[in-house]
Amino acid sequence: MAQAAAGNVLRASLFAVPVALAFHDVIGSPVQVEGRSMQPAINPHLGPESQQGESLDVVWQDKRSISRHIYERGSIVVFRNPFDPKERVVKRLIGVDGDWVRPRGNKHNLMRVPEGYCWVEGDNHGVSGDSNHFGPIPLALIEAKVTHVLWPPGRMRSLGQDLPEIHRGLNPSQA
């Protein structure tokens, strides 16, 4: 009897594990976001002296839209750090290839985002390492679009694509 139960568990696991992995890799998954660079959209409660273990926002990363190469200005995206591929970073997509952007601290000069690249910035400029520091990043580094805050329950909501006022993305007709 115990052998039959163990066999059932094994068969169920052999089905469930590949399905769960495929869901994670193709559809999406929850991910915990550290840091203050995306405040106020993500982790608005964190202060400069945040403690280890303090509650962090958990967001949904949607991989379907990125697999279809849909890059929308204003979306919050997850991408691989261009200098440390093991690290994933969450920032807002400000400009895509062909767009004109105004790098922070450079009021008068515009920069055109090269073909196959994008410009990303954190909403909280004071603490964000982003394209203003490392330049445009290849679109191929983008892995997912952040669509919802899942945790904590009181902050559960959809994250839109509206560009906050602080971002200076310009469309090609404004150049």
> Active site includes 86?
no
Cα distance between residue 67 and residue 64, in whole Å: 5
Options 37, 75, 128, 131, the catalytic residue: 37
* Residue pointed to by tokens 């990303």: 120
Bridge partners (DSSP) of residue 170 are 100
**Which distant-in-sequence residues (6+ apart) come within 8 Å of 17 by Cβ?**
none
Contact indicator for 21, 7 with CB cutoff of 8 Å: no
> Active site includes 91?
yes
Examine residue 18 and say whether the peptide bond preceding it is cis (omega within 30 degrees of 0): no
Options 91, 128, 131, 145, the catalytic residue: 91
Active site positions, annotated? 37, 91
